[in-house]
Each structure stands twice: as C-alpha cells, then as structure tokens.
C-alpha cells in the first residue's frame, strides 16, 4: 500500500520570534518541516526534525546563500493549483510533495539602512531579500492551497484553527493580504532608500527646482498601523495612526511616550503635530538670551507663542496672548518641564502637554487633573531638536501633492526696508520671531507680537484684512507699538489702515503686490516702518 506523504511546512524567517513553538505545533499536527540556514539550525537545536532546502531541491545553496530556495522543487508546490487537474497531475509526476504552509519574513532592510555609520551601497544591497519575497508572494497568490504566515503574531491562531480542522478561505485571504502588504512595504523601503542615495534628497539643495528634481518619480510610503483610534475628526469617521519604520523610538510624535488615563485621539495627534512643529521651529540658537519656547495651539492654529528667559516666563507670555482659546488646548515646550511651570499650568484645562523631559515631581502635579495626557519627545540634549526640512504629502482627488517643508529661511541681510522710517533693531528681532510663528498659522495669517511673544493672531481667513481685524481685536491695548507679520502681501491698503488703528509700529511682509506702492504710501502716512522679505509663507 502506497504511503501518503506528510504535508510540508516551509519555515524561513529572519525574525525568529515564536518560530520554535510554531514549528513544534506543526510537527504535532503531522507536518514535515522544511527549512533554510539559520532557521533550520535553530529548529534542530530545539530537537525538531528538519529537512534542509538543499535536500528538497537536490542543489546546494550558492553564492553565500544568495540562491537557495529559487527552485521548481520549492515554487512548483507553492504555485500548484490543486483544484486544477493538470497542475495536480504535473506536481505528482514531478514527485514534488505539496507545501501547505509557509512561514517567512524578510531581512530587516530598513534597520540596515538606518545604521550609523551608513553601510556602503554593496553592503546594503546584500540586505535585499530575493528568495523570501518570492516565496511570500507565491504563497499568497496560491492562498487557497498555501497558508502564508509572515507575522509571528498569527502563529498561535493558525495552530489553533488547524487543530480544529482547517483555515477558512476568508482567514487565508486575510493572511495573503498581510503578506502582500509585507512585501509592498519592503519594496517601498528599498526604493525610498536607494532613491535618497542615488538621486539625492530634496534637503541637499536650497533651489526649489533642484529639490523638485529629487522628489521621487513614483510616490511610495511605508508605515505600519500602530493603533486604531476611537474615531477621526468626527465620530462618524474611522481612523488609525501609523508609524514610519525609521521613526526613532521616543523622538517623534508618533513614537513618543504617552502618559494619562485617556487615549490620544485623531484630533489630539493632528493638533499636537502643529504644536510640535512650531516649537521645533523656535528651538534654535537664534535667540540665545531667551532659549525657552512655549507654544499653545487650538484647532491646528497657534493661539499663543512666546520665547522667554525662563520656561515660566515663556508660558505666561504665551498664555496672555489668548487665554480664552487656550482652554482645551495643546501645549509644547522645548525644555524639560520645571516645577514652577508645572504648578502654573496645573489649573489650566488642556488636552495634551509635550516636552523633551519632566523634572522630578512635575508629572504628579500635572496629572492631578483627569483626562490630561503628557507626552515625552526625547532629544539627546534634553532640548527639542530644530525643525528639519522634510517632504510632506497631501491627498487630493485622483492623486497626491508633494512638497518640501521647513522653517522659513530668510536672508535678513537682503530684506528690503521700503518705508521712510526704518525698523529698530528690537523691531527686527521681533520680526524674525513673528515670521517664524506666522509660517505655522493657517493662511491668510496675521501675527502681532510684542518683543518675543504673540499678542494677537488672525488665522485662516479668506480675506487678509479680516485676518488683521481678528488679530487686532485679540491684541486689544497690547497692539500699541507692536510688530505685525503677514504671511503674504497686502493686496490693498485697508490692511495697513486696520493695523495702524490697532497701534502697529512696524510691519513685515513678503511684498509683491501690484499695489505695493499704495500700501507703502499708506504705511508712510501712518508713520509705520515696513520691511519686505520676498518670502511668502502660505499654509493652506
């Protein structure tokens, strides 16, 4: 009587988490184990009987393991459609036993790409898995006949379902889809890294046209679902948060340590991103006498921003800008939280506080209010790192927009004073601060500052003069003698008229309107100094 061959399972994994337990379970279920290299060695050390891939193929591994599983004895069974009589007969004639389960995950290319010092190209190319993705894709393609497991988290459920009978077609589809996501992310990581090496990164040039040449020809993204969120911007919208594979642990918003009884929401993350972005933009060496930055954001727009000699000074000035809007806001500081700041912050209702660290005892003070979240954005120097240039994506119907983003880089030596009255050194210092804040406010944007603190912000208006009205209304009496920044040119003189009525003494704007002279004449008639930067700061 002809003996029925045992079903085969092919195990070849880089991440060996749970592989011994998975293989043991398969062995007990009657599977014959086939494996490669390090996986086979680990399974044999655990006392399991393993057939090497070379025994199956009848061919040794070659080129230091570059070629080992790429053989018809492996891929014939993986791609055989058992429901197709010709396929089944052909496999039998070839004498290849069917492979019913494949466990495979891939070399950690992303980890290799992040190594310091950076690997040379030839070393990095050795970390590109060829046989693994081929096995994964073949198994996923033939998922009605082959179970593909690329995630160790699925091992236990697969064993449990096999012990009870078999895996449903829907479960097989779920695993196949995960497998294709695994290989797609892998290929994306490779193309992104090689493009950055062989084409260059946009940040390697200050010329926008040169930067554009270095944007990818095909836009790919690699990110893994970290957490499902309760809902999106509104309760009827689904949402989740994803993490980039190269995001340093603890150093980014997504990888930050979150503490508090209540989970972060979609809106929390969105607002926190705007807050952190502006705080990083201010966390530079440009203001050595006032190194402490405090940013307060509500609904993606700053409502209070200040620099101070102390953290408490910066916070009090930022809060004074718009204490009403600060209710339920998100706050970020660029230095570890101090006890005096924590005590001052304690009464305020806020959603999230972010900082690079917390002095002893501050967390206990801060967490006395329920539902408050505190995030730690770590930095090697206990100070938020400055905002780097990066590439950002925006979905639109039928495609995407890509652009570079960075804190405004303005050559102040080339900025042009266009009025009869020249701004003072103190006013120019305020202009530099106001422009940095203005760049992070939704357009049309107007920012009014006294010294290095905002006193009025007019965000996101369809009319620039209306943005001026909002900013001046919020500034009130504090607008007297202030510096006003605009993210784009004034199309009419009415914005200057409103600014003058609020008491603005100096204005900084890009210039470039066909009515610039009219605007300049109005500033001169009002005794206001005005400086053109030639640098627009739209944020839509």
Neighbours of 159 (CB within 10 A): 17
Decide if 347 is inside a domain. yes
At 2 the pLDDT is: 47
Sorted by sequence, the CB contacts under 8 Å of residue 453 that are 6+ apart come out as: 305, 306, 307, 308, 314, 317, 318, 320, 321
- Is residue 318 located within the same domain as residue 436? no
User: In CATH, what number is assigned to the domain containing residue 272?
Assistant: 3.40.140.20
**Mean pLDDT in residue range 517-522:** 96
Domain boundary among 173, 194, 215: 194
Decide if 239 is inside a domain. no
Whether 141 sits among the annotated catalytic residues: the reply is yes
- Is residue 441 located within the same domain as residue 492? yes
Q: What is the pLDDT of residues 168-195, one digit of tens each?
A: 999 999 999 999 999 999 999 899 888 8
> Is the pLDDT confidence value at 369 over 90?
no
69 closest CA partner among 80, 54, 84? 54
> Is the pLDDT confidence value at 3 over 60?
no
At 387 the pLDDT is: 84
Instruction: State how far the Cα of 378 lies from the Cα of 368, in Å rounded to an integer.
Output: 23
Banded pLDDT at 23 (limits 50, 70, 90): very high
Whether 299 sits among the annotated catalytic residues: the reply is yes
Please give the backbone phi and psi of residue 262, each rounded to the nearest 5 degrees, phi first. -105, 140
At 4 the pLDDT is: 57
Specify the DSSP element, H or E, that contains 193: helix 169-198
Please give the backbone phi and psi of residue 96, each rounded to the nearest 5 degrees, phi first. -95, 120
Catalytic pick among 16, 59, 71, 141: 141
User: In CATH, what number is assigned to the domain containing residue 94?
Assistant: 3.40.50.1380
Helices (H), 283-355: 311-321, 339-345
- Between 387 and 433, the more confident residue is 433
Decide if 353 is inside a domain. yes
Helix (H, G, I), strand (E, B) or coil at 74: helix
Q: What is the dihedral of CA 508, 513, 516, 518, to 10 degrees?
A: -120
Q: What is the pLDDT of residues 447-477, one digit of tens each?
A: 999 999 999 999 999 999 999 999 999 999 9
- Is residue 71 located within the same domain as residue 147? yes
- Is residue 107 located within the same domain as residue 178? yes
Q: What is the pLDDT of residues 410-452, one digit of tens each?
A: 889 999 999 999 999 999 999 999 999 999 999 999 999 999 9
- Is residue 322 located within the same domain as residue 446? no
Beta bridge partners of 191: none
Decide if 81 is inside a domain. yes
- Is residue 24 located within the same domain as residue 78? yes
> Is the pLDDT confidence value at 42 over 70?
yes
- Is residue 265 located within the same domain as residue 315? yes
**Mean pLDDT in residue range 386-394:** 86
Domain boundary among 152, 174, 194: 194
| Number of compact structural domains in the chain | 3
Catalytic pick among 71, 178, 262, 299: 299
Neighbours of 116 (CB within 10 A): 5
- Is residue 360 located within the same domain as residue 412? no
The CA distances from residue 296 to 126, 278, 280, 322, 338, in Å, are: 47, 10, 13, 9, 17
- Is residue 442 located within the same domain as residue 517? yes
Tokens of 428: 């120019």
Instruction: State how far the Cα of 298 lies from the Cα of 304, in Å rounded to an integer.
Output: 9
Instruction: State how far the Cα of 32 lies from the Cα of 44, in Å rounded to an integer.
Output: 13
Decide if 210 is inside a domain. no
Specify the DSSP element, H or E, that contains 227: strand 224-228
Decide if 330 is inside a domain. yes
**Mean pLDDT in residue range 529-536:** 95
Question: Residue 358 gets which letter from DSSP?
Answer: B
Kindly report the length of the chain: 540
Q: For the chain, how big is the Rg over CA atoms in Å?
A: 30
Domain boundary among 175, 194, 213: 194
Sorted by sequence, the CB contacts under 8 Å of residue 404 that are 6+ apart come out as: 202, 203, 208, 211, 389, 390, 391, 392
Mean pLDDT of all residues in the chain? 92
Decide if 397 is inside a domain. no
- Is residue 134 located within the same domain as residue 262? no
Banded pLDDT at 208 (limits 50, 70, 90): confident
pTM recorded for the entire structure: 0.87
> Is the pLDDT confidence value at 206 over 80?
no
Sorted by sequence, the CB contacts under 8 Å of residue 246 that are 6+ apart come out as: 110, 113, 114
What proportion of the chain, given as a percentage, has pLDDT over 70? 99
**Three-point CA angle 90, 95, 97, nearest 5°:** 95
Q: How far apart are the first and last CA of the chain?
A: 76
Supply the range of the domain harboring residue 269. Answer: 253-376
The CA distances from residue 22 to 19, 231, 479, in Å, are: 5, 35, 69
- Is residue 23 located within the same domain as residue 166? yes
At 497 the pLDDT is: 95
35 closest CA partner among 146, 152, 22? 22
- Is residue 40 located within the same domain as residue 187? yes
Instruction: State how far the Cα of 19 lies from the Cα of 219, in Å rounded to an integer.
Output: 35
Decide if 217 is inside a domain. no
For residue 512, the Cα-to-chain-centroid distance in whole angstroms is 34
Answer for the pair 419, 496: CB distance below 8 angstroms, yes or no: no
Question: Residue 347 gets which letter from DSSP?
Answer: T
């Amino acid at each position: 009587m002809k003996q029925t061959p045992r079903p085969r399972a092919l195990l070849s994994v880089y991440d060996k988490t749970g592989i011994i337990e998975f293989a043991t379970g398969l062995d007990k279920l009657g599977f014959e184990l086939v494996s490669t290299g390090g996986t086979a060695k680990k399974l044999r050390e655990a006392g399991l009987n393993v057939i090497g891939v070379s025994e199956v193929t009848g061919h040794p591994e070659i080129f230091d393991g570059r070629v080992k599983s790429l053989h018809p004895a492996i891929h014939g069974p993986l791609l055989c459609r058992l429901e197709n009589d010709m396929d089944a007969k052909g496999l039998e004639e070839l004498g290849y036993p069917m492979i019913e389960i494949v466990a495979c995950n891939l070399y950690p290319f992303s980890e290799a790409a992040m190594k310091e010092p950076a690997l040379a190209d030839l070393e990095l190319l050795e970390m590109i898995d060829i046989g693994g993705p081929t096995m994964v894709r073949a198994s996923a393609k033939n998922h009605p006949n082959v179970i593909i497991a690329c995630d160790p988290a699925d091992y236990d459920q697969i064993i449990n379902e096999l012990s009870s009978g078999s895996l449903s077609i829907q479960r097989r589809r779920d695993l196949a889809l995960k497998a294709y996501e695994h290989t797609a992310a892998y290929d994306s990581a490779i193309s992104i890294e090689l493009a950055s090496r062989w084409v260059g990164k946009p940040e390697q040039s200050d010329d926008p046209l040169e930067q554009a040449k270095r944007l990818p020809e095909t836009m790919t993204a690699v990110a893994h679902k970290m957490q499902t969120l309760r809902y999106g911007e509104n309760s009827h919208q689904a949402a989740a948060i994803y993490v980039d594979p190269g995001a340093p642990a603890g150093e980014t918003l997504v990888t930050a340590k979150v503490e508090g009884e209540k989970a972060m929401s979609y809106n929390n993350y969105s607002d926190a991103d705007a807050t952190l972005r502006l705080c990083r933009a201010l966390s530079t060496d440009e203001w050595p006498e006032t190194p402490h930055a405090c940013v307060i954001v509500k609904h993606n727009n700053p409502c209070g921003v200040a620099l101070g000699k102390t953290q408490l000074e910066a916070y009090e000035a930022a809060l004074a800008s718009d204490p009403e809007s600060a209710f339920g806001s998100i706050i970020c500081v660029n230095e570890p939280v101090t006890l005096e700041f924590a005590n001052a912050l304690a009464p305020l209702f806020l959603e999230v506080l972010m900082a690079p660290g917390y002095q002893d005892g501050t967390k206990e003070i801060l967490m006395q209010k329920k539902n408050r979240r505190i995030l730690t954005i770590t930095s090697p120097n206990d100070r938020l790192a400055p905002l780097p240039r990066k590439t950002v994506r925006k979905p639109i119907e039928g495609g995407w927009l890509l652009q570079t983003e960075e804190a405004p880089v303005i050559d102040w030596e080339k900025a042009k004073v266009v009025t009869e009255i020249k701004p003072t050194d103190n006013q120019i210092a305020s202009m530099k601060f106001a422009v940095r804040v203005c760049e992070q406010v939704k357009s049309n944007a107007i920012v009014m500052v006294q010294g290095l603190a905002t006193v009025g912000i007019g965000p996101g208006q369809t009319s620039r003069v209306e943005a001026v009205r909002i900013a001046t209304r919020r500034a009130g009496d504090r607008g007297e003698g202030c510096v006003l920044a605009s993210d784009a040119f004034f199309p009419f003189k009415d914005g200057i008229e409103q600014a003058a009525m609020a008491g603005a003494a100096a204005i900084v704007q890009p210039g470039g309107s066909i009515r610039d002279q009219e605007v300049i004449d109005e500033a001169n008639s009002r005794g206001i100094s005005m400086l053109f930067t030639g640098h627009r700061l739209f944020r839509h």
